[in-house]
Amino acid sequence: MRNNSKTVSLIAVKTALIFISITLLTTCGGQQEKSNESASKTSATPEYTENGAIKLVVNSDDLMRFDKEELRVTAGAKVELTLNHTGKLAKAVMGHNVVILKEGTDVAAFAQKAIEAKENDYIPESDDILIHTALIGGGETTMITFEAPDKGSYEFLCSFPGHWGLMRGKFIVE
């Protein structure tokens, strides 16, 4: 009888160990996936659409963030830029767009001017804008195509009031 109960408890211990090992393996795998997700903040390796345009995808969220700090294209190339809003908040409270400004534009001054253009989704009348997407809310997506300008380093931002401090990056044309 004693031997039997020892065997039973040994089996119980083994089962517990196997369970712990599986849990550890699963947890490690999950963490690896997460680090892969946040790895790329630039568009260094160009992707192309079926039409041969450079495909740029920028994701934005309810925490006022773009997932890209840098976008890279080549001068004169056809570019397709997609903006996704993965959040839930409405356009009126957490609207996002992508505005690319001409070289040498004072970003702070432009953002200030944009605040006054509420009726035009915060796109002010200005010569400083190279291109811009539509303003979208949570769950929405928008896309524009355009021809990349001359070589240079351009600034992009979200022109919704108060967002450009966090939501901005470089648009680099090589």
Which residues are near Cu ion by CB under 5 A?
96, 158, 160, 163, 167
* Burial (0-12, 13-18, 19+ Cβ within 10 Å), 1: exposed
- For Cu ion, the closer of residues 109 and 166 by Cβ is 166
- For Cu ion, the closer of residues 22 and 115 by Cβ is 115
State the nearest-atom distance from the C-beta of 87 to Cu ion, in Å.
Answer: 10
Residue nearest to Cu ion (CB): 158
State the nearest-atom distance from the C-beta of 47 to Cu ion, in Å.
Answer: 24
Distance of CA 126 to CAs 37, 52, 65, 75, Å? 37, 31, 25, 23
Q: How far apart are CA 57 and CA 39, in angstroms?
A: 15
Is residue 61 within 8 Å of residue 86, measured between CB atoms? yes
- For Cu ion, the closer of residues 148 and 159 by Cβ is 159
State the nearest-atom distance from the C-beta of 37 to Cu ion, in Å.
Answer: 21
